[in-house]
Amino acid sequence: MRYKLLGKSGLRVSELCLGTMTFGEELGWGASKDESKKIYDRFLEAGGNFIDTANLYTKGTSEKYVGEFIAPERERIVLATKYTMTMQKGDPNAGGNHRKNMVQTLEASLKRLKTDYIDLYWLHAWDFMTPVEEVMRALDDMVCAGKILYIGISDTPAWIVAQANTLAELRGWTRFVALQIEYSLVQRTPERDLLPMARAFDMAVTPWAVLGGGVLSGKYNKNKQKESASKTSRLNLQKSKRLNDRNFAIADKVQEVAQEIGCTASQVAINWARRQKGLIIPILGARTESQIKDNLGCLEFELTEEQVQRLDKVSVIESGFPHDFLASDVIQEILYGGVRHLIDNHRI
């Protein structure tokens, strides 16, 4: 395991992050406490130090387990948790990005985690109600109080993140150093705006669902679709929209590359994500020790350029406006007067 700087900071984090949404069985699909500990231990044995959880995960059990596991080595661990999602339905202030929910959620997380500070505190999802000024000032206050060290933002449009960091820079407040998003071979739309924005602001990117909800692992295929649908809630399948011909074709190509290398499809999918532009730190989620062991195997090889190109080709997306418009031959000719090919741009 190697280590990376967490965006525009001096914090050193492992090149893979352990996601603990599976720690706990309250939702009917997670890992037991014993199995969760095995997953945690395996990750640390591999050199990992970056642990990600959230107040809502398994109704708070994930934070409780993580707090117990890290207690003997708290100083070594880079601990990340999140706020925004409600844990008290019916209370309009028990969720959202506003200061009241931030303070209350942070205090509750500190108690469950049995620690007096959080290394990286994530805003979990943008609520489109709270002014960005309130969010950034409140987070800065928490940093000044010593309760959190760094801040990150998850599941938020690129223009809002850019606005927030620009405001923080101008006001002298703490800025976001990390961005958490869904990103994988079956979900490449962040390449349009979120990933370029992260590179422009020197933010680390921690993608979740790098296996596309199991599609890229080979868990599903056309023959198994009906079988899997009977075992998985219709709501989840509708929300993910992952079981389709395009994604099955991508999964087939991932399996093809995996067979050439002699590794698993999951390892190929994670390896592809690690190779993308910018500072990418994939989040690994597992329900068993064998799964985390397999995922960690992505560090043992590198994809060739030809293999990456094949995976890129089968999963390519349209960039959309204005990106495709600006990249068209006509506009390129007008922008650069026919000499674009002679200009070396070190920022690309």
Question: How do residues 112-122 score in pLDDT, each as one tens digit?
Answer: 999 999 999 99
Question: How do residues 303-344 score in pLDDT, each as one tens digit?
Answer: 999 999 999 999 999 999 999 999 999 999 999 999 999 999
Contact between 328 and 297 under an 8 Å Cβ cutoff? The reply is no
For residues 236-257, average pLDDT: 85
What tokens were used for 18? 């352990």
R_g of the chain, CA atoms, integer Å? 21
Backbone angles phi, psi at 120, to 5 degrees: -135, 115
pLDDT at 224 over 80: no
pLDDT of residue 236: 60
Could you tell me the CA-to-CA distances from 236 to 19, 180, 229, 243, 280 in Å, in that order? 20, 21, 10, 11, 27
Residues 6+ apart with CB under 8 A from 109: 55, 63, 81, 83, 118
Residues 6+ apart with CB under 8 A from 170: none
pLDDT of residue 184: 98
For residues 153-162, average pLDDT: 98
pLDDT of residue 226: 44
Tell whether the torsion through CA atoms of 243, 246, 249 and 251 is positive or negative.
Answer: negative
For residues 154-176, average pLDDT: 98
Annotated catalytic residue 65: no
Residues 6+ apart with CB under 8 A from 312: none
Backbone angles phi, psi at 162, to 5 degrees: -65, -45
pLDDT at 297 over 60: yes
Question: How do residues 63-117 score in pLDDT, each as one tens digit?
Answer: 999 999 999 999 999 999 999 999 999 999 999 999 999 999 999 999 999 999 9
Asked, as a colleague might, if the bond just before 157 is cis with ω within 30 of 0, I would say no
pLDDT at 213 over 90: yes
Taken in order of first residue, the domains within the chain and their CATH numbers are 3-317 (3.20.20.100), 321-348 (no CATH)
pLDDT at 234 over 80: no
Catalytic residue among 40, 57, 83, 150: 57
CA of residue 125 relative to chain centroid, distance: 12
pLDDT of residue 238: 44
C-alpha closest to that of 14 among 302, 283, 272 = 283
pLDDT at 233 over 90: no
Q: What's the CA gap between 282 and 242, in Å, rounded?
A: 19
In single-letter form, the type of residue at position 136 comes to M
pLDDT of residue 220: 86
The SS3 of residue 6 is coil
pLDDT of residue 107: 98
Question: How do residues 248-258 score in pLDDT, each as one tens digit?
Answer: 999 999 999 99
pLDDT of residue 241: 80
Q: Residue 294 gets which letter from DSSP?
A: H
CA count, 13 A, side-chain hemisphere, 17: 33
